[in-house]
Amino acid sequence: MPQTAQTDQLTHYDAAFAAAMRALRLDTAPVLISALSGGPDSSALACLAERYAVASGKQHFAVIVNHAIRPGSTGEAARVQQRMAARSLAATVVTLDVAAPQTGIQEWARQQRFTVLTKIARQHQAVVLVAHHQADQAETVLMRLTKGSGPAGLGGMRALNWRDGVVVARPLLGWTADDLQAVLRHCNCDYETDPSNHNTDFERVRVRQALADPARFGCPAPDQLIRFGQAMTALTAHLEAASAGRWWQAVDMRPTGDAVIDMSRLYDLPPLAWQHWARHLIRMIGGRPYGVAGAALERLFSRLIAGQNATLGGCQFVKSARPDDAGCFQVVREVGRRPLECPVTAGDDVIFAGCWHVKTAVSGQLVNGHAAHKMPQDWATGKLPAVMRDLPYLVRRAIPVLNALDGTSIYPQVRGVQSSETAKDAPLVARFLGRQDWVYDNPTKTTGQ
């Protein structure tokens, strides 16, 4: 291809990428991180993001997560890093030192990858870019369709969401795999081939094969799935707009990791709207990556309307004992019988229980509040800080507390409860992510934030 034609094509793709970033309102983001596996899709994304960053004066680098579960993965990661260095694109390799499970390897790898990416992104106050495109979206919609997902799930992957306190963006959802291959050709960039992409033990590989020949497998064609997903996304947006006012009049989401829900205001909410909002509420407070099934939410609604306590999706719904709060339930994270522990070192930045962002200046073990060794004595002697002492027991037992190496318990400065000035010097700062996630996903919610 003549150089001028190649340049024109790259200019076209650069403009399309810049338009996608503007549409996601990421044109003001100062730092971008590309998730780079070395395959064709992520390599094309890294090239596009680097060109975009250079043109717009932003900082950009790639992160390669080596899961160390395939022979040769370390050499492959080094090869990808060198390939990008040859294009003046900085890439960091992070090699995992935790053993992979025997089953659910792809999901485990995905969780580990996002843990690494979001931690680095928090340190740099960056946006994470991932390379999912049209074909990935079609696969996701079909997988969720077979599992009976609701409208929000059937919309597929969001182009923009919030994970572990970080914005995660998919600017290539409108692009085809052929588009990305063309980008690589014009950039003269090679890529790696992952053999697991042909392993039919994995659900997504089987779905991908079915979509390659939909008539044979009796499934919708990829373009039909894309249109269906777009329709479900539009339906979800209308559902949210129509029911948001009613929901927020009935729900108070708190920075202490809990919520109060007034069922007397929601008894006639349409079932689909109830399931949509309740699923999101449970996922945020329970710290779970996925929502609960619609049938379970129907049963939950019936119990709460009947004034009965309930447990679902890692959350407890406890009826208020106050006569003037009839119909109100406290929603708290269920701490379980086994203590949840997370070792930390001084200066660490971790996600605890899937819903707390914790920064610590002291080494030790993060635990649920009820598992802190000194807390029973502190309750009795009045040593609890006011932010903990004034909270209901069910709430404070789910807030992370640090058991320091010297045997003392350190209670957190909970962001949003005390002043931010206090947080600057606190040895332990905890921020409930669910509250921030909720506002980010639902811009109509502003009251009390």
For 347-363, what is the mean pLDDT?
Answer: 93
**Amino acid, res. 346:** A
Point out which residues pair with 402 in neighbouring strands.
Answer: 366, 410
The Cα 304–Cα 299 span in angstroms is 9
pLDDT of residue 381: 54
Assess contact for 44 and 183: CB atoms under 8 A: yes
| pTM metric for this prediction | 0.88
Report the distance separating Cα 63 and Cα 119, nearest Å: 11
Q: Which amino acid is at 357?
A: H
CB 414 within 8 A of CB 378: no
Residue-level pLDDT at 432: 93
Predicted confidence at residue 441, as pLDDT, reads 46
Strand partners, 310: 317
Record the tokens describing residue 101, joined without a space: 């499970």
Please give the structure tokens belonging to residue 121.
């992104």
Between 412 and 439, the more confident residue is: 412
CA 213, CA 220: separation in Å to the nearest integer? 10
Evaluate if residue 30 carries a pLDDT over 80: yes
User: CA 132, CA 144: separation in Å to the nearest integer?
Assistant: 16
Element (H, E) at 318: strand 315-319
Query: Whole-angstrom Cα distance, residue 348 to residue 302?
Result: 43
| Alpha-carbon gap, residue 96 to 68, rounded angstroms | 7
Please tell me the least confidently modeled range out of 179-193, 204-218, 227-241: 204-218
Residues 6 or more apart in contact with residue 73 via CB below 8 angstroms: 66, 67
Distance in angstroms (rounded) separating the CA atoms of residues 274 and 266: 8
Q: Compute the 3-state secondary structure of the chain and give helix, strand, coil in percent, each to the nearest 5.
A: 45, 20, 35
pLDDT of residue 304: 96
- Tell me the pLDDT band of 443, cut-offs 50, 70 and 90: very low
Identify which has the larger pLDDT, 244 or 338.
Answer: 244
- Say if CB 102 and CB 9 are below 8 A apart: no
**DSSP letter string, 342-366:** EEE-TT-EEEETTTEEEEESS-EEE
Long-range contacts of 252-255, Cβ-Cβ distance < 8 Å, separation of 24 or more: 252/448, 253/281, 253/284, 253/434, 253/435, 253/438, 254/432, 254/435, 255/414, 255/415, 255/416, 255/417, 255/431, 255/432, 255/435
pLDDT of residue 442: 44
Is residue 446 predicted with pLDDT exceeding 60? no
**Which residue is it, tokens 């506002």?**
439
pLDDT in tens, 379-430: 555 566 666 777 888 898 899 999 999 888 888 888 877 654 455 678 899 9
pLDDT confidence bin for 175, thresholds 50/70/90? very high
What SS3 state is found at 392?
Answer: coil
pLDDT digits (tens, 9 = 90+) for 96-121: 988 888 888 888 899 999 999 999 99
Mean pLDDT of the region 82-97: 95
Task: Show the domains of the chain with their CATH numbers.
Answer: 3-217 (3.40.50.620), 254-334 (no CATH), 341-438 (no CATH)
Torsions phi, psi for 306 (to 5 deg): -80, 0
The pLDDT tens digits of the residues spanning 300-314 come to 999 999 999 999 999
Going from the C-alpha of 222 to that of each of 46, 135, 391, the distances in angstroms are 25, 7, 51
Question: Which residues in 279-289 are b (16+ Cβ under 10 Å) and which e?
Answer: bbbbbbbbbbe
Range with the lowest mean pLDDT among 123-132, 141-150, 295-304, 436-445?
A: 436-445
291 is written with which tokens?
């929502």
Q: At what angle do helices 40-56 and 3-23 cross, to 10 degrees?
A: 80
Looking only at the bridges linking them, the beta strands covering 356-360 and 349-352 are antiparallel
3-class secondary structure, 90: coil
Q: Between the CA of residue 40 and those of 158, 182, 194, 414, what are the distances in Å?
A: 21, 10, 10, 43
For the CA atoms of the chain, what is the radius of gyration?
24
Which three-class secondary structure state does DSSP give residue 437? helix
Structure-token pair, residue 287: 């710290």
CA distance 376 to 83: 56
For 272, the token pair is 């689909």
Among 187, 169, 193, CA closest to 47: 187
Please answer whether residues 331 and 317 qualify as being in contact, where contact means their C-beta atoms are separated by less than 8 angstroms: yes
